[in-house]
A = this chain, B = another copy of it.
């Protein structure tokens, strides 16, 4: 009774969600039409509505689905590093839009802003947003806690508090970098995040900032 799959192993649901995320990134949530998503999948518009109850539901699902994927990829990436300091630096690098060619994050930040706008009026999405956001701050706080158990970092301010501050800083700067602000480029953002992180956690930066 297993649902027949199409050529590639993927599920149509996922395929559509990914296509939707791509279209939203390109055209913006407000200008995304069902037709566009259908074209991304090379299927007919009718099929999209066969798999999703409505356009609205699909879009919201696409936003959170996509964010989730990015988060998991990031978590996997960080887990490979032993040192808390390395993890923190890596997390910053991964968060800077357009810093790492392979892992640009441009797409994700654009989607994240769309989530904000929509969450203002969509209570269900608002709840989702809070969960996703908490997880993100948490991952920073966890790195701080890790560093303290291994004595890489000294004890100090509450780790969750640091997570909120650093998380908010990264959010704010990422928006500006994403907007191509001429005064806040990726490398500049990276340095500022490192400086604030060092100050919040309480360690010295080496003179030669790690790339």
Contact = CB atoms under 8 A, between A and B. Distances in A.
Give how many copies assemble into the complex: 2
Interface stretch (A38-46, A70-78, A172-180): A172-180
A181 B181 CA distance: 28
Contact of A165 (B118, B119, B169): B169
Interface of A: 27-31, 110, 113-114, 116-121, 126, 129-130, 133-134, 137, 161, 164-165, 167-173, 175-176, 178-184, 192, 195-196, 199-200
Q: Which 4 A-B pairs have the closest CB atoms?
A: A168-B172, A171-B172, A172-B172, A30-B30
A129 B175 CA distance: 11
Given A165-B169, A169-B169, A116 B175 contact: yes
Contact of A179 (B126, B167, B170, B178): B126
A107 to B, nearest CB: 11
A130 to B, nearest CB: 6
Nearest to A129: B179
